[in-house]
Chains A and B, each alone.
Chain A
Amino acid sequence: MLKIVRAVILAGAIAAPAAAHAAGGDIEIPRQNWSFNGITGMYDEAQLQRGFQVFKEVCAACHGMKRIAFRTLYERGGPEFPEEAVKALAATYQVTDGPNDDGKMFQRPAKASDRWPSPYANEKEARSIHNGAYPPDLSVIAKARGVANVSPWWKHVFWDMPRDVVTGYQAGGADYLYAILTGYTDPPAGFQLSDGMNYNKYFAGHQIAMANPFAGGDGQVTYTKGPDGKPTAPETVEQYAKDVSAFLMWAADPVLEQRKQMGWTVLLYLLVTSVLLYIAKKRIWAAAH
């Protein structure tokens, strides 16, 4: 076992990055203009609601989201659907509970406190359905993915890093998801695509097991209509990808709004305190110089 582990590590630590490089290295992921970008950005409630719709109608067929409780869909800082609508939605899902007094597990409608039910009984079932691939749970996917920096070292160190720290760049996961969802194209001539794989220009190695979820193209998801009878947002693949990426960012980071609000309060407090401490320090040291 020890030897196998060591072999795997060697393969992982040395061969895999080399292979990634051989396959074209890290791919530059374009940054998007998210409403939750930076140090002041907050979620766009309407976008999260649309994103949830896309998730429910498209992604949820294959992906679970087991860490998200139904109640969070109406709690503050999220999509903030009406509480009654969420409870009604939860009731349309069946969850396993028990054992009851007879020692039997039983099915019951989900409650607001229940987590999003998985579409699979277990990982083995998922793999058997999907040709050996396992659609990952999407609860924290927006934090579990990021963007690689492809700048030369001097730009990376002296420009990109300071800029990201000052502007509070934390949307790498959403940028990545948007890129993948809109990155399905025909493979370039001569590209050898393995059986059952799909070409994606932003995926490492360009071969992804997930089929294009928006293969239906524009209009695949019907958004709610506004008072003028027109959809509240364009029914395009780009918009679907954007909305669902924003929704997944919220799923992974549900406290973003509370976090940033508290951040400004804390910083303001520290700023005032620092000024007072500096004045006190100046006065005390005046005698020593």
Chain B
Amino acid sequence: MSGHEDTYKPQSGIAKWMDSRLPIARMMHGQFVDFPTPRNLNYLWTFGGILTFCLATQIVTGIVLAMHYVPSATEAFDSVERIRRDVNYGWLIRSIHAVGASMFFFAVYVHIFRGLYYGSYKAPREVLWILGVFIYLAMMATAFLGYTLPWGQMSFWGATVITNFFSAIPIVGETVVVWLWGGYSVTTVTLNRFFSLHYLLPFVIAGLVALHIWALHVAGQNNPTGLDVKTKSDTVPMTPYAVMKDVFALAIFAMLFAWFVFFLPDYLGHADNYVEANPLVTPPHIVPEWYFLPFYAILRAVPDKLGGVILMFAAVAILAFAPWLDTSRVRSTKYRPIYRWFFWLFLISCLALGYLGSKPAEGVYVMWARIFTFYYFAHFLLVMPIVGIIETPSSMPRSISEAVLGKGGGKGAPAAVPASPEKR
């Protein structure tokens, strides 16, 4: 894909001068203007752009919040209240940042399940997919660190519980935890380093995103048929086609975002986090943010602490092995009559684990959490390898353009789409 024809022609003298020294405009033109995108992409493919928007929003609002926030156990909670009450539009910036974290995860989950459904992790996109898993991991770390900063009860006890995972490591566990805390409990020292790392990690994510996009532009985008791009008529130039669609989808996404920012700013949070952190009082329910609930359910489904922690991390890590666990010859689940059912079962399992993670770990909840945890892993370790071998794919179109325009290419042969439709 990166080998497509270079159509960049510098117009002005300055552009020509620049082009022979640092051809950045040529690169941008090749990668984001006439870059060929499959013509059959549906709206699920707009979430890459939406996620870039989410990252940018979090970084911009986060930088402004950091100008007013005080990372200290005695002042953090007060400083957040000052932002809400006394900083000009502080309530708005904070609300966008807090809701933005949830929107970011909502978008990333759509993006991940899109990849799973259409087999976007399969060759030649394994590295692209693994970079995505790293981005997801970095997002989880950033979100966790950020949630400790307001220094409410959930911040404090969440930080205590999560860092305690590392104490499950045999022999060195306790030492590691003391090292993470910078002391013998979660204190202002811990808060300071969490703030520092929370500011650092988004830029790590931005770097990973650059690699992710690079890898995407080498392999080219997957598409709903999962077929490779064969001819020029299978694609349209990224600008204006894909960009226009992305921008429209982004506007719709922004409406959902705004609904929560303005009408439900606290719906996705937890009331206990408006209680200032108190190391002497444990909240009755320690519950993570919604986007971590499935993993929390997996953690608590295992009676053994070390086992629970291992399984929880494995639940994320196993995603990275999907390219090799899936033995199917075709990418898109659209043409996989058996696997299709298992895909939806997997999605339901993840949602069910999310619900169970919000409930106390007792009685029937634990039993169901174990059942769905079993299926979560069975999906990767049993279903993906076995179904891929035994299944016969249903009949597929021969090419992307046939999928869009029908056999014979609709009204005559599909002509290559002009780059600028108004100049037809």
In the complex, what distance in Å separates the CA atom of A277 from the CA atom of B95? 26
In the complex, what distance in Å separates the CA atom of A5 from the CA atom of B160? 8
B404 at the A/B interface (Cβ < 8 Å)? yes
Pick the contact of A146: B85, B261, B271 (CB < 8 A): B271
* A12 touching B91, Cβ below 8 Å: no
- Report the minimal beta-carbon distance from B387 to chain A, rounded to whole angstroms: 28
B71-101 to A contact mask, C-beta < 8 Å, 1/0: 0000000100100110000011001000000
* B178 touching A2, Cβ below 8 Å: yes
- Interface residue tally for chain B (C-beta within 8 Å): 57
* B282 touching A9, Cβ below 8 Å: yes
Q: With a CB–CB cut-off of 8 A, which chain B residues contact A191? A: none
A215 at the A/B interface (Cβ < 8 Å)? no
- Report the minimal beta-carbon distance from B18 to chain A, rounded to whole angstroms: 29
B177 (CB) vs chain A CBs: closest residue: A2
A271 at the A/B interface (Cβ < 8 Å)? yes
Q: With a CB–CB cut-off of 8 A, which chain B residues contact A286? A: 421
B280-307 to A contact mask, C-beta < 8 Å, 1/0: 0011111000000000000000000000
- Interface residue tally for chain A (C-beta within 8 Å): 60
A161-183 to B contact mask, C-beta < 8 Å, 1/0: 00011001110110000000000
Interface centre among B157, B285, B362 (most CB of A within 10 A): B285
B247-265 to A contact mask, C-beta < 8 Å, 1/0: 1100110110011011111
Q: A287-B424, A288-B417 in contact; A281/B248 too (CB < 8 A)?
A: yes
B408 at the A/B interface (Cβ < 8 Å)? no
* B274 touching A9, Cβ below 8 Å: no
A174-211: which residues lie under 8 A (CB-CB) from chain B? Answer: 204
- Report the minimal beta-carbon distance from A149 to chain B, rounded to whole angstroms: 9
- Report the minimal beta-carbon distance from B67 to chain A, rounded to whole angstroms: 19
In the complex, what distance in Å separates the CA atom of A14 from the CA atom of B363? 12
B272 (CB) vs chain A CBs: closest residue: A144
- Report the minimal beta-carbon distance from A150 to chain B, rounded to whole angstroms: 12
* B251 touching A273, Cβ below 8 Å: yes
In the complex, what distance in Å separates the CA atom of A254 from the CA atom of B86? 11
* B267 touching A170, Cβ below 8 Å: yes
A256-272 to B contact mask, C-beta < 8 Å, 1/0: 00011011101100110
A20 at the A/B interface (Cβ < 8 Å)? yes
Q: With a CB–CB cut-off of 8 A, which chain A residues contact B282? A: 8-9, 11-12, 16
In the complex, what distance in Å separates the CA atom of A264 from the CA atom of B262? 8
In the complex, what distance in Å separates the CA atom of A44 from the CA atom of B285? 34
A3 (CB) vs chain B CBs: closest residue: B174
Q: A2-B184, A14-B361 in contact; A270/B258 too (CB < 8 A)?
A: yes
A143 at the A/B interface (Cβ < 8 Å)? yes
Q: With a CB–CB cut-off of 8 A, which chain B residues contact A121? A: none
Q: A2-B174, A288-B241 in contact; A9/B360 too (CB < 8 A)?
A: no
* A255 touching B266, Cβ below 8 Å: no
* A271 touching B255, Cβ below 8 Å: yes
B198 at the A/B interface (Cβ < 8 Å)? no
* B263 touching A270, Cβ below 8 Å: no
Pick the contact of B360: A17, A274, A287 (CB < 8 A): A17
Q: A6-B167, A165-B264, A267-B255 in contact; A278/B284 too (CB < 8 A)?
A: no
Q: A2-B184, A285-B241 in contact; A266/B272 too (CB < 8 A)?
A: no
Pick the contact of B248: A2, A11, A13, A274 (CB < 8 A): A274
Pick the contact of B362: A18, A255, A271, A283 (CB < 8 A): A18
Q: A277-B244, A280-B244 in contact; A263/B258 too (CB < 8 A)?
A: yes
Q: With a CB–CB cut-off of 8 A, which chain A residues contact B283? A: 12
In the complex, what distance in Å separates the CA atom of A288 from the CA atom of B418? 9
B356 (CB) vs chain A CBs: closest residue: A153
Q: With a CB–CB cut-off of 8 A, which chain A residues contact B421? A: 283-284, 286-287
* B262 touching A263, Cβ below 8 Å: yes
- Report the minimal beta-carbon distance from A147 to chain B, rounded to whole angstroms: 9
* A274 touching B252, Cβ below 8 Å: yes
B294-327 to A contact mask, C-beta < 8 Å, 1/0: 0000000000000000000000000000000000
In the complex, what distance in Å separates the CA atom of A252 from the CA atom of B263? 15
Q: With a CB–CB cut-off of 8 A, which chain B residues contact A1? A: 184-185
Q: B interface vs A, CB < 8 Å?
A: 39, 78, 81, 84-85, 91-92, 95, 157, 160-161, 164, 167, 174, 177-178, 184-185, 236, 240-241, 244-245, 247-248, 251-252, 254-255, 258-259, 261-267, 271-272, 274-275, 282-286, 355, 360-362, 404-405, 417-418, 421, 424
Q: A5-B164, A157-B355, A288-B417 are in contact. List 17 more A-B contacts (CB 8 A).
A: A8-B282, A9-B282, A11-B282, A13-B161, A13-B361, A17-B284, A21-B360, A67-B85, A72-B85, A136-B275, A143-B271, A144-B274, A144-B275, A277-B251, A285-B241, A287-B417, A288-B241
17 of the cross-chain contacts (CB-CB < 8 Å) are A9-B160, A9-B161, A12-B282, A12-B284, A143-B266, A144-B272, A144-B275, A146-B271, A172-B271, A204-B284, A262-B92, A263-B258, A263-B261, A266-B262, A274-B255, A277-B244, A287-B421
